[in-house]
Amino acid sequence: MPDITKQHPPLPELLLAEEQRLSVPRRGHVFRIGDKVEYLYLVNAGQVYLQHLNPTGNVVVLQRIGPGEFLAECSLSMSTYGFDAKCPADTELRRFPVRQFRDALYSDGHFAAEWAMYLSDQLRAKFARIELHNIKNARDRILRYLIEMADPAGGVALRGSLRALAAELGIAHEVLYRTLAQLEREKQIFRSEGNIQVL
């Protein structure tokens, strides 16, 4: 899916005054499904996976959030979280109390408009992920992902492990490993550490 998201809008002083810092270790959780919504989180360094279990008991990564991105923006209108937020590596976050965040949106029209545009971009990215998951054939889904994520030179920088990518794509990691190996044998891709080159 194309990376069509943009950085969040500048935060007003009212909100920055309430900012707190949080460190979460590798494999730790920012929050879990059912936890009370008290903060809105912004990733400073590291990565967070929003995930849940599908009906077969497999972990499905709904979204991978990196530096400069908010996670679970929809929580502004929720009382509890509907998914887990897990860190695949040591992660640094900034967090803002939900109540003050809402106050900033109500009192600052410019920030509210910029926030609406940011959410619009986030929604478009989520629709692209849904479209990708609607591709039933695993090979086709993987190829589509690689083609859409490739830079102009055909390179795809992996933002985590292959196991994490498999979870994001909604396929078993063994299927991803086999398919990438087959694509490489067919000379459709070339793999190096942390990168896949689409040929």
- Say which amino acid occupies 172: A
- Distance (Å) of CA 22 to CA 29, 43, 54, 80, 100: 11, 10, 29, 20, 18
Q: Which of these, 120, 148, 145, 147, lies nearest to 133 by C-alpha position?
A: 145
The DSSP 8-state label assigned to residue 83 in this structure reads S
| pLDDT given at position 3 | 42
CB 59 within 8 A of CB 86: no
**pLDDT digits 0-9 by tens, 53-81:** 888 888 888 888 888 889 888 888 899 99
The CATH 1.10.10.10 domain(s) of the chain lie at 138-198
Q: Which CATH number fits domain 13-124: 3.40.50.10070, 3.90.1150.10, 2.60.120.10, 1.10.10.10?
A: 2.60.120.10
pLDDT tens for each residue of 2-17: 343 457 788 999 899 9
Per-chain mean pLDDT for the chain: 88
- For the chain, give every residue range classified as CATH 2.60.120.10: 13-124
What is the per-residue pLDDT across 132-143, written as a single tens digit (0 to 9) for each? 888 999 999 999
Residue 176, pLDDT > 50, answer yes
> Which overall architecture, per CATH, does domain 138-198 show?
Orthogonal Bundle (1.10)
